[in-house]
Amino acid sequence: MRYRELFKRFEPYTWEPSTEQIAAQFGLKPGDILRLDLNTSPTRPTSALKSLAKRLPEIEVNLYPDTSYTSLREAIAEYTGHEFEGIIPTNGADEAIDIVSRIFLEKGSIAVASVPTYSYFRIASELQGSFFRGVPRLEGFGDDVEGILSNLDSDAGVVWLCSPNNPTGNVTPAQVVEKVCSETEACVVVDEAYYEYSGATAMPLLSRFDNLVIVRTLSKAFGLAAARIGYILASEETVKLINKARPPNSLGTINIKLAMHALKNRSYMRKSVETIISERERVRGELERLEVGKVYPSQANFLLIRIREDLRAEEVHEMLLREGIVLRNLSQNPLTRNCLRATIGLRGHNNRLLRSLGRLLRVLRG
């Protein structure tokens, strides 16, 4: 069978095993598994679901959705304050990342990102035949602006910035985005998947830079990861260009309706974000009290933990798995050596993690 040379050495996206697999492996019930590895919301917008359920029989599932997604774009415009013509809804932020890559990257071109970061940037870039250059972040995980700029030659197609960054939780200041946008012809993507937790955005720069593209999602703060709704914010000109590579029907009508309800009734999202932020700060303090290692400050819905030197993150990860608690193990990446990432859940979820960790640390430290 013939296939692209690229896939002979390609490193695909990896994730923790499924809930069913973990339950079967450790003799647990799937319902007892606590997933704190996916950076999703611990609750779902039940009022949006109930309202949709009532209207379900009238939904024209026999027809394609409105390909220009007019109503959804209006709802996104109202939520963000960005112009209607500068919005493209996508099938999750991941599809936005893919579409942007198709427009701005090609075989032999260069994509640059501050690393560690969301691994799909590398994957989407390499799928276009581009070379991915990771510029290591500075102490404290800030972007190395000079390092980024020095990697931007005339073959550079995309600069990936992520704010707040997954997995480090810090924000890229608007001044950094502005500097990078003004010093390159390449497309500068700011992934703001966790925007609602930080409140910081590069949006005010959109009117000045055609090469700026912001990517967002309803998968996190809005609690709609399964609905697969993301969106692109850019200038009208840039949106016209990006639309050339967009599949015509990648969003389903049922999911569009859910997204519109969530965007128009935002008190659920606001309350959820408030709870997660206050829990995040409480958990951070408790983790420090447990002397688990270094817990980095975060403006997102997760915490990055560098496990103390005398313990191995893999071992802590595995012991938690045995108790049905799944964290993201990032320790294989040299830039996040001995690190685990924990999504913040509801108080009860977080207390379960803290209790288990406390017990494990006592066992491991003897």
Binding-site ranges for ligand PLP (CB under 6 A) = 39, 92-94, 118, 162, 166, 191, 193, 217, 219, 225, 230
| Residue with the shortest CB distance to ligand PLP | 92
Min CB(39)–ligand PLP separation in Å: 5
Strands 110-115 and 131-136: parallel
CB nearer to ligand PLP: pick between 119 and 238: 119
CB nearer to ligand PLP: pick between 94 and 279: 94
CB nearer to ligand PLP: pick between 217 and 255: 217
Min CB(87)–ligand PLP separation in Å: 15
**Would you state the structure tokens that stand for residue 243, as one six-digit string?**
């639309």
Q: Sort 176 into a burial class: Cβ within 10 Å, 0-12 / 13-18 / 19+.
A: buried
Min CB(5)–ligand PLP separation in Å: 28
* DSSP state, residue 178: H
Min CB(181)–ligand PLP separation in Å: 19
CB nearer to ligand PLP: pick between 116 and 360: 116
Strands 212-217 and 187-191: parallel
CB nearer to ligand PLP: pick between 162 and 203: 162
Min CB(60)–ligand PLP separation in Å: 25
DSSP assignment of 288-345: HHTT-EEE---SSSEEEEEE-TTS-HHHHHHHHHHTTEEEEE-TTSGGGTTEEEEE--
Cα separation, 100 vs 287, whole angstroms: 38
- From the centroid of its chain, how far is CA 292? 25
Min CB(19)–ligand PLP separation in Å: 17
Residue 85 contacts residue 276 (beta carbons within 8 Å): no
CB nearer to ligand PLP: pick between 172 and 338: 172
